[in-house]
Amino acid sequence: PDNLAQGPRVTLASRAPRLARWAVPGTIGLAVLGTMVHAALLRVPVVDDAAISIAYGQSFFAGAGLRLTPVSPPVEGFSNPLWVFMLGLSGPLHLDALAYSRWLGILLGALALVFVALAVPAATGRRLHPVDAVGPLLVAASPNYAYWICSGMESGLHALLLAASVWSLVRD
């Protein structure tokens, strides 16, 4: 019962909706941050195939077109044109291409977890529930996911595009 001198009694049950409103996005945010830290701490060297995408992208932005080097014949030796163009931006931006490919993959792969969490609420038309944080937490705990998003390959981009596509499709 309420004690009029002390005001209404505050219990955990009375705070649960408010707590859940902040706890679920906070947990998803921790999964995103944890994925980034996990991938960064692995210190995986950039995979050699990433260098192919970097080379094609840098040749393109140097004005030589899509070729491995500015003086090589134009041969399509890549399978990921969007990633090639994104990595090619490292030249005009004057960024270290290997570090850029690694950190771009980590960032995009971590952002994918937001869309993983939002897919079911978007499909059902409801707000976030605690269960919606389970998917991002499981992915964040996966060493394989962390390894490939920091490898310089397009894994983080693919994860983000796939998760955002699912979210976009189910919300309509």
DSSP letter string over 60-110? HHTTS-SSSSTTS------S-HHHHHHHHTTTTTT--HHHHHHHHHHHHHH
Residue 43's pLDDT is what?
85
Q: Residue-wise pLDDT tens for the chain (172 aa)? A: 555 566 666 665 666 667 667 889 999 999 999 999 999 999 889 999 999 999 999 999 999 999 999 899 988 888 999 999 999 999 999 999 999 999 999 999 999 999 999 999 999 999 999 999 999 999 999 999 999 999 999 999 999 999 999 999 998 7
CA–CA distance, 56 with 48 (Å, rounded to integer): 13
Residue 3's pLDDT is what?
56
Q: What is the H or E stretch that residue 154 is in?
A: none
Residue 10's pLDDT is what?
64
Query: Which residue carries 């980034």 as its tokens?
Result: 36
Residue 57's pLDDT is what?
96
Our CA dihedral for 39, 44, 50, 54, rounded to 10 degrees, sits at 80
Residue 149's pLDDT is what?
97
**3-state SS class at 161:** helix
